[in-house]
Amino acid sequence: MYVNFLCLIDLFLIPAGKALEHRSALTPATTKALLDAGYTVHIERSPERIFDDSEFEAVGATMVPEGSWREAPADHFIVGLKELPEEDCMSLCTL
């Protein structure tokens, strides 16, 4: 029996988190490619990101409230450009 383990991987994109920072670790196009490959992609809403939330919604990403990565299940991979605040990472496993 073949099991596609990629279908079991959840990614959680967070905003850059710095003032005047507009970069994004994922684009809507790469998000679509990940979704097409079987990943589950959660995108935190962000008014600062270079891409509008609607662009990620249009490719099928699951939109979640900003800051909700703190409640993400332990098996989700947090994707971003900057380090996570140390005080928020105490319960997270790092790779």
CA 13 from chain center: how many Å?
2
45 within a domain of the structure (yes/no):
yes
Question: Which pLDDT value is given to residue 2?
Answer: 46
As for how many domains the chain has, the answer is 1
94 within a domain of the structure (yes/no):
no
Question: Which pLDDT value is given to residue 94?
Answer: 47
Question: Which pLDDT value is given to residue 89?
Answer: 55
55 within a domain of the structure (yes/no):
yes
Give me 31's structure tokens. 């998000």
* Residue position matching structure tokens 């993400």: 72
Q: What is the pLDDT of residues 16-60, one digit of tens each?
A: 766 777 889 899 999 999 999 999 999 999 988 999 999 999 999
Q: What is the pLDDT of residues 50-85, one digit of tens each?
A: 999 999 999 999 999 988 888 888 888 888 876 666
53 within a domain of the structure (yes/no):
yes
Give me 9's structure tokens. 């991987």
DSSP 44: E
Domain containing 47: what range?
5-16+24-83
CATH code of the domain covering residue 73: 3.40.50.720
